[in-house]
Amino acid sequence: MAQSKVHGIISSHVRRGLKSDRTEELLRAGQNNRYITYMPGDPTSKHHHAAVAIELSQSHARKIRDPMTAGTILDIRVLSETTGTKVVILTEDSRGRLTKMQELSPSTNPASQNLTLVYRPKSDQYPDGHYDVLINNQPVSIDGKGKSCLFHALARGLKPDDSEAEITLEADRLRRVEADALLSHPGQWEPFIKRKEWTQAIRGGEWYMEEGAGPPKKKIKETKTRLKKEVGKIEFYKNWKKYAIQNPGTGQFINADHQPPVSSIIEARKLNQNSKLAEAMLEVATTSSPLKSSLVQNVHKNHGLELPTVYVPKEVHRDFPSTKTGAFRKHLAKAISTDDVVGTFKLTILGSMVRFRLKNNQNFNVFQSSAMSKTRLSTFEMSFQQHSRNMVQNWFNLMKGKGVMTNNHLSTITAWIDNKGYNNQNDPHRNQVSSLL
């Protein structure tokens, strides 16, 4: 409880002081990482959502038995606890010196053995990161082990004199040992697995998960053709995360924009717990119907994994009112809280325009600094009408049967989009957004 309160205070300062969603995401990634590393575990704990705990443990156990699944800090923690091993993780600093990055120890019993790993961050040599092991204060390379480099490093550290064939068998055995531990004590490991998933859902969160090496993937480069192909796609945020991992480099020029923003949906429920629209949106966000209130806190922590997003150019995304203006997000939250369906989606669409289109007498980015900036803006605006229409239709489909969004609502909003009401300078919703910039 104390840790949660401290994290809340720190996050609040970050939001007010730095006004950076990116910084806040990295802060959450670091907090989740420290929880996995240091929070004591109780083998006798029984989570009040037993079915959830069992499902999470079974899912991760299945993955970790697969030699194509890379190990992370979570797997080190489980094996540290299970084998009674203190594991120190070193990494090289800017001068090439080995410095301590993490230290994991069993929380239930004193460590019976010590082991030191050397983590190699992502680089040209190690596109996905890599683990070696320190034996007698000398780094021992773990070469050509692909996704199993972490488990081979652990096996070599535990049995330094074994042959390569024996180490391969030991690495496989460690995967099974971990899987059995997860299945034996699902209540103990459920919060750790959750935080691992939350961290992987955060842009940049992989910095904190320390995955082992995998086959190099060719990075996707930004081109006019690629922009045209990606911009305007409607996808759940969880699918975007998978797509970005499978297509490295995409996140350098494309962002997945939550429409409406996650914070507005959560704030709406705080403003009015009887809001049917806020409840329906949170049912989508938690995949629970009726809404399970206990799951709402996860929507913020995992940044709305189950919510739909629109793919937009990264540079353009940085200049949306929904990205830049806290007052806009609060105004949108109020519309959601009062069950104003038409107003909510009109504001959502206006909040996903570049600011100079809404208020051109300010010093806003006009995207003329380079040919690529012009291309990004042009591609986005050519897609705007259609992807706004698709976004509203998608929400209508997701909330069908919840008694919130009617066919009349959909027709009214769609007609407004078709008539480009968002460009009408006499439109009251447009004027509301403009006044907040």
253 to 127, 200, 231, 354, 399: CA distances (angstroms): 19, 19, 10, 16, 31
> 422, 415, 414: which is closest to 392 by C-alpha?
414
Q: Dihedral (C-alpha) 325, 327, 333, 335: value to the nearest 10 degrees?
A: -110
pLDDT tens per residue, range 293-331: 889 988 887 788 899 999 999 999 999 999 999 999 999
pLDDT tens per residue, range 4-63: 666 666 656 555 554 445 555 555 556 556 666 656 655 555 554 566 667 777 888 888
- Structural domain boundaries of the chain? 2-209, 224-436
Burial tier of 292 (Cβ tally within 10 Å: 0-12, 13-18, 19+)? middle
30 to 37, 191, 251: CA distances (angstroms): 10, 15, 20
> 16, 12, 7: which is closest to 326 by C-alpha?
16
Q: What percentage of the chain exceeds 70 in pLDDT?
A: 81
pLDDT tens per residue, range 86-122: 999 998 877 778 888 888 888 777 888 999 999 887 7
Q: Is residue 67 reached through a cis peptide bond, with omega within 30 degrees of 0 on the bond before it?
A: no
pTM: 0.57
First to last CA, the chain: 37
Strands 113-120 and 85-92: parallel
pLDDT tens per residue, range 227-240: 999 999 999 998 88
Q: For residue 81, how many other CB atoms are within 10 A of its CB?
A: 24
Q: For residue 38, how many other CB atoms are within 10 A of its CB?
A: 14
The conformational region for residue 204 under phi > 0 = left, psi -120 to 50 = alpha, else beta, is: left
Given pLDDT bands bounded at 50, 70 and 90, which one contains residue 258?
very high
